[in-house]
Chains A and B, each alone.
Chain A
C-alpha cells in the first residue's frame, strides 16, 4: 500500500511541530504524568504511526494538541500548525481549527456518534458551522462524502440514526464527517480497534485511498503494529509518555534499535513461523505514571539495563537521517541477528 515514490515529497517543511510537550493530570492521589517532554513533527501528506501500550501517552498527546484534554488535564510546551502556535490557544481559535483544519476520529464508532441525532444532522452541522453552508447545500455535500467512503444510498442514510448502522459503516461515517472540510491533518485514534478484522482492512484501505487522493496527513494512533506496518510512513514508539524510538516504517521493522521496540515486535504473534516456542512477552508491569523516575522509564523491565539506566534519562539521539532513539545501551539487540 505504501508508495516509495512519495517518500521524496515528505521532506517538505513540517505541517505540525510539537516541541517539549508535557501533559499532566491532577488527581486525588497527586499528579499523573501522561506525556513528558515530547518533540515530534508531522509532515504534509505523511502517515505517522504512534504506537505504544495503554497509558503510553499516544492518545493524550493528540487530545492535548486539539485542546480536548479532560478537565483535570494540563498541557505545556509548544504546538505549531503551519507555524501558528495552537497549544492552549483560546477556545475561539480552537473551535475554528478543530474539525476544520484538523479532524479527529475515535476508537469506538458505537459510542463516538450521538445516538440522539440523525447521521445527517451530525454531518451537516460541521459544514454549517465551519463553512456557513445552508442545511440543504450541506446535505448535498454530505451525500457526496458518504458516497466517497463507499456508503451506498447515502441520501436515505442521512435520515437514519447511528444505531441503524453497523460498526464499520459508522466508522466510515466518522471518517467522511472528518473529511468534509478537507483537513490538512486527520488524527485517527485507534480507528480499527473496535472493528472485526475484515472491516478493519476495509477502513485501512479507505484511509490509504483518501490520503493518496487528497494528500491529507494522517496520524495513526494504535497499539496494533500490523496496522502501522500497512499504512504508516514513519513510526513513533511511545513508552510512559516518552518517545523511545522513531524511524521510517521499514527501518523500524527491520532495524529497530530500542529494547522496548524489540519487545513490542517480538510479542506480535506470527502465522508464518512454526510454533516452536511460547509467544514472547515483556516482563514486568506497565509503568506507574504518578512517578517520574530520574532514569529511563523502561529500565525496570529492560533485559539490557545497566546501572546508568536507572539514574540518567537517555537523550534522544539520531542514529540515521530518520532514525531517533533514546537508549543508553550500545550493543546489539538479541533478536537482531534474526532479521525481523
Chain B
C-alpha cells in the first residue's frame, strides 16, 4: 500500500509538469495579452507594464521564471487584480467554495445514498418512481434556473433568507447556494446508488447469502452495501473537485467571493498568472482526489489490493 502510494505520488510530478507546460504555452498562443484592452494604452505605459511583469522577455525565459517561482509555491502577481498576488486571491476565495461545496457534497451523500438504496429496495414501486422522477428533474434543470427560482420564492417573496452575499459565511447566507449546488449532485448520487444497488442485489453472491438464511439486513449491510458503493467512488473523485472549486454560475447569482469566477474572468482578461494558478490548483485536486478514490477502492475491494 505504501509503495503504491509513493509510486502514484511520484507520477503526479511529471503529470503536473505536463499540465503546467501545456497551459503556459497555450495561454501565450491565445491572441492579445493582459494589457490589450479596448482602450489602448500609450506605448510608453505599455512598455513599462511589460517590463515590470517581464512580459518583454522571450517566452522560454518567462516559462523558466514561472516554474522557478511555482516550485517555491509562488504563483506570481495577478495582472488584472492590481497589487494582489494569485496566492492571495486563491487564499481569499477558496474557503468560500470549500465551505459551500463541502456542505453540498456532504448533504448530497447523506441524503442521496439512502434515497437511492431505498429506491433500489422498492424497485418499480411508487417510492422508486417518485424519487427517480425527482432525481431526473434535479439533474436536468440547470442551476441558473433553480437559483433565481429559489431566490424569488424564499428571499424575495417569503423573506425567509437573504437573496445573496457572503457575510463571512453566516448560516442564513449559506442555505440557498448550498441547496442549489446540492440538488443536482444529490440526484446523481441517488440514481447511481440505485443502479448499482439493483445490480448487486441481482448478483449470484447475494442469492448465496439469502440461501444461507441470513436475515435481509445482514444481506444488505454486510453483503450488498460495500460492492454497491464502488461506482459512487469513481464518480465522486472528479465530482468532488468540481464542487469544491466553485461554480461561476452559483457565485455570480448569489454574489459570492469564491474562485469559480477566476476560471472564466482570468481567461477572458488574459490574466496569465491567475489562469495558471487556478489550473494548477484544479489539477492538484484532481490528482489528489483520484488517488484518494484509488486508495478507497483498495480499502473496500480486496481484489484491487494486489497490484
Contact = CB atoms under 8 A, between A and B. Distances in A.
Contacts of B223: 114, 116-117
Given A95-B214, A99-B214, A116 B208 contact: no
Interface stretch (A42-50, A76-84, A123-131): A123-131
A163 B301 CA distance: 11
Contacts of B68: none
A66 B212 CA distance: 10
A129 B207 CA distance: 17
Interface in A97-138: 97-100, 103-106, 108, 111-118, 125-126, 129-130
Contacts, number: 79
Contacts of A91: 216
B222 A125 contact: yes
Interface string B200-217: 001111011111111110
A103 B207 CA distance: 12
B303 interface: yes
Contacts of A115: 205, 227, 301-303
Contact of B210 (A98, A116, A129): A98
A161 interface: yes
Contacts of B208: 106, 112-114, 174
A105 B212 CA distance: 9
A125 B207 contact: no
A174 B215 CA distance: 19
Nearest to B206: A114
Q: Which of A70, A112, A126 has the most CB of B within 10 A?
A: A112
B212 A99 contact: yes
Interface residues of A, number: 34
A118 B208 CA distance: 15
Query: Interface extent on B, as a size class?
Result: 20 to 34
A71 B215 CA distance: 17
B218 interface: yes
A96 B226 contact: no
Question: Which secondary structure characterizes the binding site on chain B?
Answer: helix
B48 interface: no
A99 B227 contact: no
B232 to A, nearest CB: 15
A177 interface: yes
B213 A106 contact: no
A218 to B, nearest CB: 15
B201 to A, nearest CB: 9
A68 B303 contact: no
A94 interface: yes
A95 B303 contact: no
A118 B226 CA distance: 13
Contacts of B123: 71
A98 B212 contact: yes
B205 A114 contact: yes
B300 interface: yes
Given A115-B303, A129-B218, A97 B213 contact: yes
A68 to B, nearest CB: 6
A125 B214 contact: yes
Contact of A125 (B204, B212, B301, B302): B212
A328 to B, nearest CB: 38
A130 B211 CA distance: 13
A129 B210 CA distance: 12
A111 B208 CA distance: 9
B302 A163 contact: yes
A109 B267 CA distance: 56
Contacts of B214: 95, 99, 125-126, 129
A99 B211 contact: yes
Contacts of B202: 70
Interface string A180-200: 000000000000000000000
Given A106-B204, A117-B223, A95 B215 contact: yes
Contacts of B226: 116
B211 A104 contact: yes
Interface of A: 66, 68, 70-71, 91, 94-100, 103-106, 108, 111-118, 125-126, 129-130, 161, 163, 174, 177-178
The 9 closest A-B pairs by CB, nearest first: A99-B213, A99-B212, A98-B213, A111-B204, A104-B211, A114-B205, A161-B302, A95-B213, A112-B208
8 contacts: A99-B212, A99-B213, A111-B204, A112-B207, A112-B208, A115-B303, A126-B212, A129-B214
